[in-house]
Amino acid sequence: MNVSKGITPRAKDFAQWYNDVIMRAELADYAPVRGCMVIRPWGFRIWELMQQGLDGMFKATGHQNAYFPLLIPQSFLEKEAEHVEGFAPETAVVTRAGGKELEEPLVVRPTSETIIYAMLTKWIQSYRDLPVLLNQWVNVVRWEMRTRLFIRTTEFLWQEGHTAHATQEEAEEETKRMLGVYRTFMEEWMALPVLTGVKTPLEKFAGAVRTYAVEGLMQDNRALQLGTSHFLGQNFAKAFGTQFQTAEGGMEYVWSTSWGASTRLIGGLIMAHSDDIGLICPPKLAPLQVIVVPIWKTAEDRTKVMEVAAQIRQELAQSDIRVDVDQRDGMKPGAKYYEWEGRGVPVRLEIGPRDVAGSQAMLARRTGGKEPVPLEDVVQLVGKALDDIQTGLCETARERREAESLRGATKDQLIERMEGRAGFVYAGFCGSEACELAIKERTKATIRVLPDVEFQSAETPSECVWCGEKATTEAVWAKAY
């Protein structure tokens, strides 16, 4: 609908490039409400496919969807001290409704722990009622000062999982299980290899005992937190009195978790894979996986070419490939290529009269490369191309991440990196808030995670990168969105 515009190269201005890609692919647009966006059909279709993928994994791990109210009494937020301190400053508050001032203001949910624990207290009586494994797909509002489409918007869409368990062990297991689900989704669907680990107390969720996170590395070498999984201990259970009768007859507070991922994932997808032509979308999440572009000059050719195009569409659709034919008249093939490349369609099939005569089509990959394919093998070869693109994107992103990770960094190297190339910097950490804050102050880098075992360096750092004291752990620093 909008006239396509040129895209600022990444190397020139990454933030502008990001916005240009979004506009050209018609993924989203700025809304006439501060910090809010409209998710346009092409962007929303990616979100629907993400939802399908994640929701299937949530259900396979025993979770059920539900829906809790948007508006939360302000007093609920205040029941968990850390929680209200973290969220109150960024809430939007309904003070008037039905033409009257409300007696108690209602907060537009920034997250739903409080309203959910108010209900769980009512529903849970005995150990037989546990575990409770819930999830909801909803909108939330956080009044952010600096916003960016998909990455940080005043309102965003997300899922929030909330679970309650009889034991600490079970809740801790659940926290890690869901971190693993996110990681699998990001690697297998988004083609985005992530780094996982635990947050420092400074960076954890307000109200959690411990926060785990999945972090992706974007093409500008900044980190993006893509999902978090919180072990909440008994914090919310105590704040809301969520107790159960144990098998032995005593009363205990439930142990709980929450975990979330949002439309920010779309921002991560864009920044991880796209190029200066526009969006590159992993095939598993592409609204269209294949666009067929018929090429003709005469009316006679048009009939022939359209017939073959329609047939290809039917065959691909029957194999559950998302495909369409660009039948628009009065538009040159080159203009069509340009449009679908900008929208990130992974495979283009071009069919002209000579292709029809030779029973073939030209298969062009959004990630580069073009080859003729015999029509009789088109389903198989398109399927293979889609698989290759999916795998290739993940491999490229993994190589980038490794190439842009520095391990065993010294203080000077940490500073130098954060002043220039950035990326993930692994180094020793003494665990003190003082060092963490000093590094942030000096370099603008934050500890993204204390990495999980498999991401830890072969040689465990012995000294804190900042103070030189004994390191208690390895940490990964990056400049983050």
Q: Which residues bind a second copy (CB under 8 A)?
A: 1-2, 29, 31-33, 36-41, 44-45, 47-48, 64-73, 76, 88-99, 105-106, 108, 115, 118-119, 122-125, 129, 134, 138-139, 141, 143, 145, 154-155, 157
Contact criterion met (CB below 8 Å) for 367 and 389: yes
In this complex, which beta carbon is closest to a second copy, that of residue 118 or of residue 213?
118
Q: CA 25, CA 149: separation in Å to the nearest integer?
A: 13
Tell me how far, at minimum, the Cβ of 198 lies from a second copy, in Å. 30
Buried b (16+ CB within 10 A) or exposed e, 292-312: bbbbbeeeebbebbbebbeeb
CA–CA dist 479, 481 (Å, integer): 7
Least distance between a second copy and beta carbon 311 (Å): 21
> Please, what is the minimum distance in Å from the beta carbon of residue 81 to a second copy?
18
Burial class (CB in 10 A: 0-12, 13-18, 19+), 127: middle
Handedness of CA 107, 113, 117, 123 (dihedral sign): positive
Nearer to a second copy (CB atom), residue 112 or residue 360: 112
Q: In terms of CB distance, is 115 or 397 closer to a second copy?
A: 115
Rounded Cα gap, residues 308 and 295, in angstroms = 11
Q: Cβ 154 to a second copy, closest distance in Å?
A: 8
If the CB atoms of residues 34 and 370 are measured against a second copy, the closer one turns out to be: 34
Give the residue with the Cβ less far from a second copy, 99 or 420. 99
Closer residue to a second copy in complex, CB, 91/446: 91
Q: How far is CA 391 from CA 51, 236, 249, 255, 372, in A?
A: 21, 41, 53, 39, 21
Upstream peptide bond of 41 is cis (omega within 30 degrees of 0): no
* Contact of 478 with 215, CB cutoff 8 Å: yes
Least distance to a second copy, CB of residue 142, Å: 9
Cβ-proximal residues to 366 (8 Å cutoff; 6+ apart), any chain: 280, 281, 341, 344, 345, 346, 347, 348, 389
Q: Which is nearer to a second copy, 129 or 388 (CB)?
A: 129
Q: How far is the CB of 91 from a second copy (least distance, A)?
A: 7
Please give the backbone phi and psi of residue 41, each rounded to the nearest 5 degrees, phi first. Answer: -50, -40
> At its nearest, how many Å lie between a second copy and the CB of residue 342?
16
